[in-house]
Structures are given as C-alpha cells and as structure tokens.
Amino acid sequence: MTEKAAAQGSVAYDTVEEFWAPDAVDALAEARRHQDPRGFAEEFCVAFGLTGSAVPTASARDALTRYLRALRLRSPRTEVLLSAFNCAAVADAVHAAGLRVRTFDLATTDGSFDPDAIQAAVTDACLALVIPHLFGVPCDLGSLPDRCAQLGVALVEDCSQTVGATLGGRPVGSFGDAAVFSFGYDKPLSLGGGGMLLSRDRAEVAVPEPSEPVADRQLLDALRVFLVRRRALISTAGHASTVAERQRIYAQSAAAPGPRPIGPLRAALGSWQLGRYPAVVRERDERANAVAAAGLVTWPVPADAEPAWLKQKVLVAESADDVAVGLQRHGFRAGPFNWHEPVADDVRRSVARYTALWSRQGLDVPVHQNMPRAAVSSMIEMIRHG
C-alpha cells in the first residue's frame, strides 16, 4: 500500500466525527429528543471528576465572555492575562467582555510554560489569568492557583483542547475559579458546536437558553456537509489554498445556523460520547506517543501530567507550511493550524519570541485521525525528511 493509500484508505471519519455520523444522529434524535442540556453538563462533570456550577453555552468563547463580564461587574480591574500562543478567539472573548489583553510568552524553545514567569506578569490591573491546556496536555501550574487566590485574580482554565487529562492526579478544570470547554467539531468531544462554563466562585453568570432540537439538527447537517467537502480538499491543493478554501466552505455551510447553545439533540450526543471517550483517548494517545518516540521535538508534557492527546504538536526545522504541503499531498491532514500569529498584546509592546517560533514551525499532527500504525509510521518518516 502506498503512503497516500495508507493515509486515505483507512480514514472514513476522524474519531471526533464518528461521534455524530448520520446513523448515530438519527438514532439519538428519535430516542433522546427531550434530553436536558444541563443534565449532560452534570454528567460531563461527574465523568471527569469536576465540581462547580456547569452552564452549557454556544462556545468556549461565549463561556469565557460570560464569565469575564460577570467578574467585571464586581471589580474595577481591566486586564486579562493570556498566553501569546493561543487561539485568537480567546482574545476576542476578552474584548467582547470590554477588557484588555496582556500576554505572556512560552518559556523556552521546547514550548513549555514557566509558572513563575507567568506569576511575575500579573499586575494590579489584572482581573483574570487564563491558562490554556493545549493539544490534550495539562499546563504546568506550579503555585499559580494559590498565588492568584492571594492576589484576588480569577484563574480560568481553558480546557477547549483538553478533556480527561490530569496534573498531579487531579483533572484539568479543577484547579481554577472557572474552566471553559469547547464542543466544536475538532475538539476532544464533538457536538458540532457548543461549549460549557464551569465556575466555582459564585459569579453571577447569565445563562443562555438552549437551542431547539431542529436548530441542533441543522447545525450538525451543515457541519457534515462542510467536513465532507473539506476532506476532499486534502491531497488536491497546497496548504495555503486548502486553508483559504476550508474557511470559505465553513462560512457557507455553518454560518446559516450560527453558534448556538447546546440543545437536546447535541446534549444526547454528548451523553452518548461520554461512554466512548476513554477508548477514543487511548487510540489518540497511542498515536501521539508513537510520534513522540520517533525522536521528533514534540509538545512537552509536565512530569506529573497524564495527557489526553487531541493533536500532537511537532517543531520542524523549517516553515510548517512547507512541510504541510508534502504531507497533505499524501493525504495526511497535518498543518500549522494552531496558530500562525501570536495573540496581540493591547497593553504593551512585547516580543513573544518562543510563541513566534512555534507559530511558524509548529506542525499539528492529526493523532485524532483514524490511521493504522503503518500510516502513522509513514507520516513520521515524511516529517523527519521534511
């Protein structure tokens, strides 16, 4: 079997996409059409050992915006401290709450975070610190939870890419005053959209109304069209044109329903996924560990952490865009998808040196994709040789 055949022939769905394949959606629509989204949120917390008030939202961005707005009502502080290596939607959430962004850099070329350096970046104007657990790996928090409590700074864990991982035996999402989760199509648990806020500090957060079942179904159907068309692009175009076309297709197919809070159908999908999630994580972890064992420079894992990999991150010697072109021509959905540019700092001029490095040369390796070992090995060899 050729590399291209090994990659393409084995992949009907990503592990996330299987969660809402047509037959699963149809069965759940009939059996659980009246499921309560708050009930799913509670099940989610029980499954991962989390406590607090869980509110389903339209997205992780929506969850963070709602929480920051609630904090702003009771504090004159105006800044939120973020990692410069981050999704732009996190900064958008800060701005939507009427606050300003300050950033901190990665600590070294290996991509690690330095809790002491992050702590030193906290100022009297800081309302909240948002710590991202990226790619399925817990961020090293050190003494940040205690220090934030002493300083009166809300600690928010961004768990959009990490569900079920632990740090020192404790689950991510359990260390801060709040945590946000994403259920987008490419996240650890996929509901085709939606998010959740988990808070423990009694912030008065506005609770959105859940979607109607028909809106849930429209969103899933639109995203299914998007994913089929998106998959067809791989191996037929260079990376730059693929990204542009992917964005155009997504805008056409998913913009009509728009982001919506989780409704009964997506809540039912979420409950169904919870029972399958441990097996899915084992598959992803096996592929991520194979990439890490190949001697490549991969995303660092703290010594006391147990990851739940979503995508492995590899630092390549040249532009990740250039490496991605060759991989995608052979059917591998690898590329510099997270993230091309550092998040901009609203408060000061800062040079995010290590963030810039990982933004240019960080390659997302799709360990969430259903690939046999032979395909993973072929992909590793292609990365090794550029």
CA dist 214 to 33, 202, 272, 328, Å? 10, 33, 19, 36
CB-facing half-sphere around the CA of 245: CA atoms within 13 A: 15
Task: Report the alpha-carbon distance of residue 138 to residue 362 in Å, rounded.
Answer: 18
Domains by residue range for the chain, with CATH: 32-199 (3.40.640.10)
Which band of pLDDT confidence, cut at 50, 70 and 90, is reported for residue 51? very high
Which band of pLDDT confidence, cut at 50, 70 and 90, is reported for residue 360? very high
How much of the chain, in percent, has pLDDT values that exceed 70? 85
Arithmetic mean of pLDDT, 247-271 = 69
The per-residue pLDDT for 255 is: 43
pLDDT digits (tens, 9 = 90+) for 277-327: 998 999 999 999 999 999 999 999 999 999 999 999 999 998 999 999 888
Task: Report the alpha-carbon distance of residue 314 to residue 298 in Å, rounded.
Answer: 4
